[in-house]
Amino acid sequence: MLLTTLVFLPLFMAGVLLLVPNEKVLKPMALGFALVEFVLSLALFLRFDPGLAGLQLVERSAWIRSAGIGYFLGIDGISLWLVLLTTFLTPITILGAWSAITKKVKAFLIAMLVLETTMLGTFVAMDAILFYTFFEASLLPMYFIIGIWGGERRIYATLKFFIYTMVGSLFMLLGIIALMFYAQDQLGYMSASLVDFYKLQIPFVAGEFLSTQTLLFFAFSLAFAIKVPVFPFHTWLPDAHVEAPTPGSVILAGVMLKMGTYGLLRFSIPMFPEAASYFAWIFLLIGVVGIIYGALVAMVQPDIKKLVAYSSVSHMGYVVLGLFAFNAYGISGGLYQMLNHGISTGALFLLVGMIYERTHSREIARYGGLASAAPIFTILFMIITLSSIAVPMTNGFVGEFFILLGTFMSAKGYALFAVTGVVLGAAYMLWMVKRVFFGEKGELVKKYESHGLDVNWREILVMAPLVVLVFWMGLFPNQFLRWSKASIDHLVENRLTYELPVVGVPSNPSSYVVQRAASASKAGE
């Protein structure tokens, strides 16, 4: 029951908040709830066996029996870290929003907790329809968070965000239905279980665009590509971020973008292996284009938040590149980079929010000399900048290094182009840092200096766990990598005939296999 509890506890807590009449206790309560959820998620480390490649902590019961749709939850080394990223970032975001959100506090906190449920559900759902439900449901709270607490053009931004992602998901829904019928044909029963989907043999004809596997591959991948977002589907992102309130940006960049890359890794790559191999070049290409394009456009942004948003395009380009390298380096690096991006970009949005609350402007040209006026803020910003530009001993380096190494091992040409991102990333971040923090004091700094521009204790508390993780993940990456090693090795070794073994005693033994993957037992030794 651990996974079910984890997924639905935030929803339950949102219900509790609904009944609390006292406005003052709402934020502490929500923060407490989110912390309880985080502590509970740490129990995963006790229950999860890193030596096994299969699906663990499985819960399964029928939902729509006739169509083979089930309530099917499970976790492996890939989703484990994304679950933890979600439960980790939620309390930080709530604490970070303490002074940013002042109106309709209750509604906001409820939206945050509901959002947490949908995000966690997305990562642990092992039934495609259930996954789709969570995946789509997550749009709603985010829609309200941007639409109600956002900036001036929030309605435009939310519509763009919503419609863009909806369009992609519709293709995915068609794809899921098609796969369910395939299951009926090939397995003899209709099923929406991912474990069953992996068993399907979907016809693939190389070079023919209308072959079924190709169509299905693109139906799924389009949905995920928009979510990531990869170039050229990224234009909803800068608008959404600029209009979103700080907590919205943090969760959007920190967790929701990962739903896209997670989907690529969970669906597109293992379910349609031939198509994924055949069209890998497309994803390698848009990965590289994303890295370079995102960095270049980030460089010329006049608005700090928009710069960070475009940097996301660049960073997520790395993730896509790593995943489609199809080797352990690239995929481990890609997964690591998902976490890094959640931490560093989440932190950057928090920091930008902190300074915006004080000066009400994000225009780079109006800053300057902030380092003298806000020294602690500057130190925090510098540390996160180092993580973002992947300086060794920070988390960013580990991800970027393995992605580039993996790409180099499987597709040298793309790696050579991607490596320019190492330079461009430093260029856009440090140029911004120079204009905002160094030089003579700018207009805004002079104007607001007397109000105190440096961070307060609450904000230091918000940033502290992020800073700790930046170094922890940079100095001791093996402590993180080892939890996903078995799953990634299993995927890499069996990519063309991928099946996901289910570990543990199932409630309905006939429908799944109990086995230890050969690779997993090797890793456990």
Partner 1 sequence: MTTNILFAALLLAPLIGFLFNGIRYQSKNCLLAGTVASGAALLSFACSVVLVYQLAHLPVESRALTAHFFDWMTVATFKVSAAFLLDQISAIMVLVVTGVGSLIHIFSVGYMSHDERPSKYFAYLNLFLFNMLLLILGDNLLVMFVGWEGVGLCSYLLIGFWFTDREKAAAGMKAFITNRIGDAGFLVGIFLIFATFGTVTFTNLISLLPAAAEVGWTGPITLACLFLFVGATGKSAQIPLYVWLPDAMAGPTPVSALIHAATMVTAGVYMMVRLSALYVLAPNAMMVVAIVGALTALMAASIGMTQWDIKKILAYSTVSQLGYMVLGVGVGAFMPAMFHLMTHAFFKALMFLGSGSVIHAMHEEQDVRKMGGLRKYMPITHATFLIGWLAIIGMPPFAGFFSKDEILWNAWNLPGAGKLFWLVGVVGAAITAFYMTRLMALVFWGKSRVSSHVHPHEAPPSMAIPLIILGVLSLVGGWVGIPHVISAILPGHPENILGHWLEPALARLPHEIHGSALLEWSLMGISVGVAGLSAWFAFDSYIKHPDRPQKITAKIRPVYELVNDKYRVDELYFGRIINPLVDISKGLWAYIDVNFIDKATYAAADLIKSAGGGIRAIQNGNIQHYALMVALGLVLLIVFAL
Contacting residues toward partner 1, per CB under 8 A: 160, 163-164, 232, 235, 238, 293, 296-297, 299-301, 327-329, 332-333, 369, 371-372, 375, 386, 391-393, 397-398, 401-402, 404-405, 408-409, 415-416, 419-420, 422-423, 426-427, 430-431, 433-434, 437-441, 475-478, 481, 485, 489, 492
Judged by beta carbon, residue 253 or residue 328, the one nearer partner 1 is 328
Q: Nearest approach, Cβ of 497 to partner 1 (angstroms)?
A: 20
Instruction: Note whether 307 and 364 are within 8 A (CB).
Output: yes
Tracing tokens 């449901």 back to the chain, one arrives at: 137
Which residue number, 60 or 234, has a Cβ lying nearer to partner 1? 234
Q: If DSSP codes are grouped into helix, strand and coil, which group holds residue 505?
A: coil
Q: Which of 386, 291, 286, 395 is nearest to 339 (CA)?
A: 395
Least distance to partner 1 from the beta carbon of 6, Å? 28
Residue 211 C-beta: closest distance to partner 1, Å: 26
State which residue, 278 or 401, has the beta carbon closest to partner 1: 401
3-state secondary structure of 404: helix
Side chain identity at residue 210, one-letter code:
L
d(CA 435, CA 409): 38
Taking the complex as a whole, the smallest distance from the CB of residue 28 to partner 1 amounts, in Å, to 30
- For 194, phi then psi, to 5°, come to -65, -35
The residue among 28 and 392 lying less far from partner 1, judged by its C-beta, is: 392
**Residue number with CB closer to partner 1 (214 or 332):** 332
- Residue 408 DSSP SS3: helix
Q: End-to-end CA distance of the chain: give it in Å, rounded.
A: 28
Residue closest to 120 by CA, chosen among 240, 10, 285: 10
Nearest to 324 by CA among 214, 221, 196, 474: 221
The strand pairing partners of 69, in sequence order, are 64
**DSSP H helical ranges for 138-200:** 139-149, 154-187, 194-199
Residue type, 10: P
Q: CB of 345: closest distance to partner 1 in angstroms?
A: 19
Considering beta carbons, is residue 73 or 415 the nearer one to partner 1? 415
Instruction: Quote the least distance from Cβ 507 to partner 1, whole Å.
Output: 35
d(CA 349, CA 354): 9
Q: What is the largest CA-CA distance in the chain?
A: 73
Q: Cα(255)–Cα(238) distance, rounded to whole angstroms?
A: 16
Which CB atom, from 129 or from 403, has the smaller least distance to partner 1? 403
CB of 318 to partner 1, least distance (A): 13
For residues 276 and 221, give the distance between their C-alpha atoms in angstroms, rounded to a whole number: 10
Q: How far is the CB of 372 from partner 1 (least distance, A)?
A: 6
The H or E element that residue 212 is part of is helix 212-227
The answer to whether residues 146 and 243 touch, using CB atoms and an 8 Å cutoff, is yes
Q: Cβ 367 to partner 1, closest distance in Å?
A: 13
Within 10 Å of residue 394's Cβ, how many Cβ atoms?
Answer: 27
Query: Between residues 180 and 371, which has the closer beta carbon with respect to partner 1?
Result: 371
Nearer residue to partner 1 within complex by CB, 56 or 378:
378
Q: How far is the CB of 352 from partner 1 (least distance, A)?
A: 19
Choice between 198 and 431, CB closer to partner 1: 431
Cβ contacts of 47 within 8 Å, gap of 6 or more: 2, 56, 57
